[in-house]
Amino acid sequence: MSHEVDEYNSKDEPKETSGGMDHSPSDDSSDWRRTKRVYAYCADRLGLDLLVDLGQKKLVPIHRTTPFYYLGGMALFLVIVMFGTGVLLALHYKPSADRAFDSVQSIMTDVQFGWLIRSVHAWGAALLIAVLILHLLTTYMMRAYRRPREYTWVTGCFLLGLFMAFGFSGYLLPWNQLAFFATRVGTAIVGVVPVVGEELLIWARNGEDVTGDTLARFHSLHVSIFPLIALVLLGAHLFLVQKHGMSVPDAAAKAAGGKNRVPSIPFVPDFLLRDAVGWYLAIALLALLSAIFPWELGEQADPFGSAPEGIKPEWYFMFMFQALKLIPAHVFGLEGEMLGVMFFGFCGLIVLLVPFLDWGQRSRQVLNGLAIISLIFAIVMTIWGYLA
């Protein structure tokens, strides 16, 4: 609560605790004394001092690209929103092929504010992936993945993959036409992986085709297995962020004349307050989107009906979907699909290994070139996918 910043020497402002609280230790109101007593009681028994230490130590450098730091906090906030709304949805959702659609329809019509919770969950997912992608790109641009933060990057990459898997598994749960066929196509892609593809496909679908069994599997992945993995990875990621502090980009350090000459603010509460502004804006955006564009329900899946027109995956899979659609059936005697899947797998691996590939001016130029090309590729493919 009382974080003294000795270096702080403002002329206009009175010397303040950067705790930012109204009460300073010198304020001897009874209120404050009571708070102090409660804190002391808890700190003593719950080891709060460790957390407080961690909070106090963390500083956030202020420079031109500081706004990028908000993305991580924003992602964390959205993850919390997703956990919250997800837990709520699970209270009304019924994971079986013949009841899933009805129960989601019921959530949208009969359950009070069901439309809101479901729409926030669906819009939140889209927003989360967007924020994560921006987080990844800005981290790359600031080269914040360098020693000693390699594993912060690696865990982050895994988290992005995991949240995409969250999105993919969650897309099927309403058991509507679009989701059913998108899942069929999406899982079929797994099947073209060499050697283990077929086995993987059977495993992913929990059978030879997308059925109620697939729904059961996707549901269990979505609500229990993925969240557990997410907690572990997120814990590791946050621990590493906390451990290594915020990375200062080269340009900012140079502009300030040395890394240690970059001005900074304490994370608690200054940066947290700024984060909170973003979070409120995110809540407002989600409420706005949900109230005005409630997430669609579609038509109940008919496994034996023909595929509906315009089946499309979630937007963040669109570039892959479109690229795989365009790839010819056979390239150099190899199956086109397989080649495409291998290519995307390889791209993913490169992204994951960025911290270990950036070993000099030359390799960085190659990486930057690749990054720009793949970014343009993904954007073009996504737009193409939506226009087609």
Partner 1 sequence: MKNLPVILVMLVSAGVLLRMAEQQTVAQVESENTTEAEQKIAEATSRKDSSCMKCHGEADLWEGDRLRYFITENHLAKDLHWKKGIQCDDCHGGNPESMNFREAHSAEAGYRVISTPQDIPQFCGHCHSNVEYMSRYSPSPKTNQESDFWTGGHGRRLKENPEAGVANCVSCHGFHGILPIDDQTSPTYPKNVAKTCATCHSDAEKMAGIDYHGRPIGHDQYELWSTSVHASLLMEKGDLSAPTCNDCHGNHGAVAPDVNSVASACATCHVKIGELFNSASMKHRFEQASLPGCATCHGKHDIHQPTDDLLGLDMGAVCASCHLDGKFGATLAGSMEAKMMGERLKELKERIASSEAKVEHAEQLGMEVRRAKFRLHDAHTALNNARVAIHSFAQEPMKETIEKGLSVTQEVDEQAEAALREHTFRRIWLALFLVPIAMAVVLLILFIQTQPPPTIQNLEH
Partner 2 sequence: MATRNGSSSRRKWLLQALIGVVSATAAGIAFPVLAFLRPRRQLVAGGLEVVAPYKVNQLERDANGEWPAPFDFGGKPCLLIKKPDGTVKAFNAVCTHLECTVTYRSDQQDIFCNCHNGVFNTDGQTVSGPPPKPLEEYDVTLRGEQIIVSRS
Let me know: does 227 contact 162? Beta carbons within 8 Å: no
CA distances from 170 to 178, 221, 302 (A): 13, 9, 18
84 binds partner 1 (CB under 8 A): no
Let me know: does 96 contact 308? Beta carbons within 8 Å: no
Task: Provide the mask over 288-327, with x wherever binding to partner 1 is found by CB under 8 A and - wherever it is not.
Answer: x--xxxx--x------------------------------
61 binds partner 1 (CB under 8 A): yes
If contact means CB under 5 to 8 A according to the sort of partner, which of partner 2, partner 1, none does residue 92 touch? partner 2
Environment class of residue 376 by beta-carbon count within 10 Å: exposed (0-12), middle (13-18) or buried (19+)? exposed
The answer to whether the bond into 294 is cis (omega within 30° of 0) is no
Task: Give the C-alpha separation, 284 to 289, whole Å.
Answer: 9
50 binds partner 1 (CB under 8 A): no
Task: Provide the mask over 3-42, with x wherever binding to partner 2 is found by CB under 8 A and - wherever it is not.
Answer: ----------xxxx----xx-x-x----------------
3-state SS string for 103-118: HHHHHHHCCCCHHHHH
Least distance between partner 1 and beta carbon 115 (Å): 7
- Give the count of beta carbons closer than 10 Å to the beta carbon of residue 336: 16
Environment class of residue 15 by beta-carbon count within 10 Å: exposed (0-12), middle (13-18) or buried (19+)? exposed
21 binds partner 1 (CB under 8 A): no
Let me know: does 40 contact 229? Beta carbons within 8 Å: no
Closer Cβ to partner 1, 4 or 208, answer by number? 4
287 binds partner 1 (CB under 8 A): yes
Task: Give the C-alpha separation, 258 to 139, whole Å.
Answer: 20
Decide: helix, strand or coil at residue 210: coil
Helix (H) or strand (E) holding 383: helix 361-387
Residues 233-252 that bind partner 1 (CB under 8 A): 245-246, 248
Least distance between partner 2 and beta carbon 282 (Å): 12
Residues 41-100 that bind partner 2 (CB under 8 A): 84, 88, 91-92, 99
Residues 155-214 that bind partner 1 (CB under 8 A): none
Let me know: does 267 contact 55? Beta carbons within 8 Å: yes
151 binds partner 1 (CB under 8 A): no
Residues 264-323 that bind partner 2 (CB under 8 A): 280, 283
Let me know: does 150 contact 211? Beta carbons within 8 Å: no
Q: How many residues bind partner 2 (CB under 8 A)?
A: 26
If contact means CB under 5 to 8 A according to the sort of partner, which of partner 2, partner 1, none does residue 24 touch? partner 2
Least distance between partner 1 and beta carbon 13 (Å): 6
If contact means CB under 5 to 8 A according to the sort of partner, which of partner 2, partner 1, none does residue 288 touch? partner 1
DSSP string, 9-40: --SSSPP--TT--S--TT---HHHHHHHHHHH
Task: Give the C-alpha separation, 216 to 47, whole Å.
Answer: 41
Out of 38, 232, 277, 372, the only residue in the binding site for partner 1 (CB under 8 A) is 277
Residues 95-124 that bind partner 2 (CB under 8 A): 99, 102-103, 106-107, 110-114, 116-117
Q: How many residues bind partner 1 (CB under 8 A)?
A: 45
Out of 274, 307, 336, 347, the only residue in the binding site for partner 1 (CB under 8 A) is 274
The single residue listed with the structure tokens 């290994």 is 353
300 forms beta bridges with: 176
Task: Give the C-alpha separation, 388 to 383, whole Å.
Answer: 9
Least distance between partner 2 and beta carbon 81 (Å): 10
Closer Cβ to partner 2, 107 or 246, answer by number? 107
Residues that bind partner 2 (CB under 8 A): 13-16, 21-22, 24, 26, 84, 88, 91-92, 99, 102-103, 106-107, 110-114, 116-117, 280, 283
Residues that bind partner 1 (CB under 8 A): 5, 7-10, 13, 16, 18, 20, 57, 59, 61-62, 105, 108-109, 115-116, 245-246, 248, 259-265, 269-270, 273-274, 276-277, 280-281, 283-284, 287-288, 291-294, 297
